[in-house]
């Protein structure tokens, strides 16, 4: 959708093919128990500059998100709050006054961040986050309550396996940049209403088209351009952006041998799950903050959806990356997490329902030296967009937005460079593919 918005803004009437009946992909609305939930609780941060600019452009303004100053709380063990001061003091003062860290641990955190700045957040050679933290003599508590949760939340990969280089990019843009960049941004609406639906409206109003429930089955390339076959018809386009999840690219590209190298890169990716548990209580005590860390065995973050989105009685618990949760049956996991919530919020009572949603391939595993595919392919006019393409960001909404916008600009420039009068240029996102739509450009 980011690619499609960018294309229509560039005057290209993009057509989006979306296989599902509604928009959003891995960040979408799901309806359960009469509530609009999401396939997983998401969080954005102030450093998502392109996502936030895009939301503004399509008219999904600040009322749709809750902006909170950075607070990293694991009651009763740890509490770090950014100060209302300009960078770097917002964080420096936060670290100095953090509860749950010894003086030495705080100084070592600060000195680690100083070192990151000195090397401009670039490592000579990538390693795993856990090793980098040991090299910089980070204390056990700092690792347990600050660095490890940050790594798992941002990279969806445990620190023992996660890329230190990508982690440093997150620190650079999220923690060590401006105070606004470190803000936590929580969607007040469901994710489909937050971005893809208003984006679809914007695209339609600006000459594009959205084809829902229209899975592209195959893409062929010949002298006429790219033929997209879906269940109802076949259309020909000059430019196509494949904007699916990485695991969905191979069947589409089966007849495009020029994509061989990128398909190999995609095939080498491993994936990590994310589980979200929604727990609904008849009555909910006020939580100290809308998002708090959990330090038990399973739950990692607890979100107060009544404070965030006005959904009375609703909590969301997030468990990122592969771990113990995958070894339990869903009912058992629900029981264990419910007990952890009760320990954190004594007197909360029993939920009247619990909904467990597991996304098994939530993101690619963000390991060191990962060879991610480029946006441009070996085939002129064909691009790959999505959170998995080459970038110094982990698999996030911001990475997906940047990738989509970049493909749109590449597609537009290429189309502009060689417009064919007898064969008009077209572009499509088949959640596929931004292409330039038939006969339009
Ligand atoms: C549970 C969970 C929690 C997450 N939490 C966060 C978070 O807190 N913050 C954050 O920034 N990121 C988070 N992420 C990651 C974020 O959701 C993804 O990075 C982002 O949604 C990826 O977007 P995308 O456009 O690259 O791919 P997708 O969202 O996967 O979109 C691909 C689309 O292609 C469609 N498609 C597939 N095949 C075809 C076909 N043949 N024809 C037509 N359409 C097709 C799919 O239906 C889908 O709509 C989370 C992800 C999950 C799953």
Structure-block tokens of residue 308: 């965030």
Mean pLDDT of the chain: 93
CA 303 to ligand 1 centroid distance, Å = 21
Check residue 410 and give its pLDDT: 96
Residue of the CA atom closest to atom 6 of ligand 1: 42
CA 24 to ligand 1 centroid distance, Å = 7
Check residue 432 and give its pLDDT: 46
Domain segments of the chain: what residues?
2-27+195-268+370-430, 29-65+271-364, 70-182
Check residue 286 and give its pLDDT: 84
Q: Which CATH class is domain 29-65+271-364?
A: alpha beta
Sequence-distant (≥ 6) Cβ neighbours of residue 406 within 8 angstroms? 375, 385
* Digit-coded pLDDT (tens) for 67-86: 999 999 999 999 999 999 99
* Digit-coded pLDDT (tens) for 23-70: 999 999 999 999 999 999 999 999 999 999 999 999 987 789 999 999
Question: Using an 8 Å Cβ cutoff, are 43 and 185 in contact?
Answer: yes
Check residue 24 and give its pLDDT: 98
Check residue 232 and give its pLDDT: 87
Average pLDDT over residues 309-332: 97
2-27+195-268+370-430, CATH topology level:
FAD/NAD(P)-binding domain (3.50.50)
Confidence of residue 397 (pLDDT cuts 50, 70, 90): very high
Burial class of residue 422, CB neighbours in 10 A (0-12, 13-18, 19+): exposed
* Residues flanking ligand 1, CB < 6 Å: 17-20, 25-27, 39-40, 42-44, 215-216, 243-245, 248, 252, 274, 276, 359, 362-363, 386-387, 395-398, 400, 430-432
CA 207 to ligand 1 centroid distance, Å = 25
CA 440 to ligand 1 centroid distance, Å = 29
> Which residue, 65, 42, 47, 55, is CA-closest to 362?
42
Distance CA 75, CA 308 (A): 19
Check residue 60 and give its pLDDT: 85
CA geometry: angle at 356 spanning 332 and 303, to 5°? 110
Confidence of residue 429 (pLDDT cuts 50, 70, 90): low
For the cut 70, the answer to whether the pLDDT of residue 149 exceeds it is yes
Check residue 63 and give its pLDDT: 86
Residue of the CA atom closest to atom 37 of ligand 1: 244
CA 219 to ligand 1 centroid distance, Å = 21
The per-residue DSSP string of 147-199 comes to: IHHHHHHHHSS-TTTSBHHHHHHHIIIIISS-TGGG-EEEESS-HHHHTHHHH
- Residue that the structure tokens 């970038």 belong to: 391
pTM above 0.85, yes or no: yes
Confidence of residue 414 (pLDDT cuts 50, 70, 90): confident
Average pLDDT over residues 127-133: 98
Residues pairing with 228 in the sheet: 219, 235
Atom of ligand 1 nearest to the CA of 26: 29
Question: Using an 8 Å Cβ cutoff, are 408 and 6 in contact?
Answer: yes
């Amino acid at each position: 959708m980011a690619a499609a918005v960018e294309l229509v803004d560039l005057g290209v009437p993009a057509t989006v093919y979306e296989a599902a009946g509604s928009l959003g992909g891995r960040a979408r609305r799901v309806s359960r128990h009469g509530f609009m939930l999401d396939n997983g609780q998401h969080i954005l941060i102030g450093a998502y500059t392109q996502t936030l600019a895009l939301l503004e452009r399509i008219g999904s303004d600040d009322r749709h998100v809750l902006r909170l100053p950075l607070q990293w709380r694991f009651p009763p063990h740890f509490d770090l709050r950014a100060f209302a001061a300009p960078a770097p003091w917002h964080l420096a003062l936060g670290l100095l006054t953090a509860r749950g860290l010894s003086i030495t641990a705080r100084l070592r955190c600060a000195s680690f961040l100083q070192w990151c700045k000195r090397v401009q957040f670039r490592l000579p050679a990538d390693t795993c986050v856990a090793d980098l933290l040991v090299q910089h003599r980070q204390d056990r508590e700092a690792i347990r309550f600050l660095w490890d949760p940050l790594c798992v939340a941002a990279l969806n990969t445990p620190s023992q396996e996660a890329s230190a280089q990508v982690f440093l990019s997150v620190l650079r843009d999220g923690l060590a940049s401006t105070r606004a960049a470190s803000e936590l941004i929580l969607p007040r609406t469901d994710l489909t209403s937050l971005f893809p639906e208003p984006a679809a409206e914007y695209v339609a109003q600006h000459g594009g088209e959205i084809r829902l429930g229209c899975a592209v089955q195959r893409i062929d390339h010949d002298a006429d351009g790219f033929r997209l076959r879906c269940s109802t018809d076949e259309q020909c386009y000059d430019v196509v952006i494949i904007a699916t999840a990485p695991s969905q690219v191979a069947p589409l590209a089966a007849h495009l041998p020029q994509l061989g190298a990128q398909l190999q890169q995609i095939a080498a990716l491993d994936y990590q799950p994310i589980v979200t548990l929604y727990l609904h209580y008849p009555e909910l005590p006020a939580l100290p903050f809308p998002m708090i860390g959990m330090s038990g065995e399973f739950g990692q973050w607890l979100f107060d959806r009544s404070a965030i989105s006005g959904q009375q009685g609703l909590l969301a618990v997030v468990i990122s990356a592969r771990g113990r949760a995958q070894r339990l049956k869903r009912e058992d996991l629900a029981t264990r997490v419910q007990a952890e919530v009760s320990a954190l919020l004594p007197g909360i009572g029993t939920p009247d329902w619990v909904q467990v949603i597991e996304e098994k391939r939530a993101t690619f595993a963000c390991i060191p030296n990962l060879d991610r595919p480029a946006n441009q392919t070996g085939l002129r006019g064909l691009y790959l967009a999505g959170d998995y393409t080459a970038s110094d960001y982990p698999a996030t909404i911001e990475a997906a937005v940047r990738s989509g916008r970049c493909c749109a600009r590449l597609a537009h420039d290429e189309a502009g460079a060689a417009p064919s009068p007898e064969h008009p240029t077209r572009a499509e996102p088949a959640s596929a593919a931004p292409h330039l739509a038939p006969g339009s450009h």
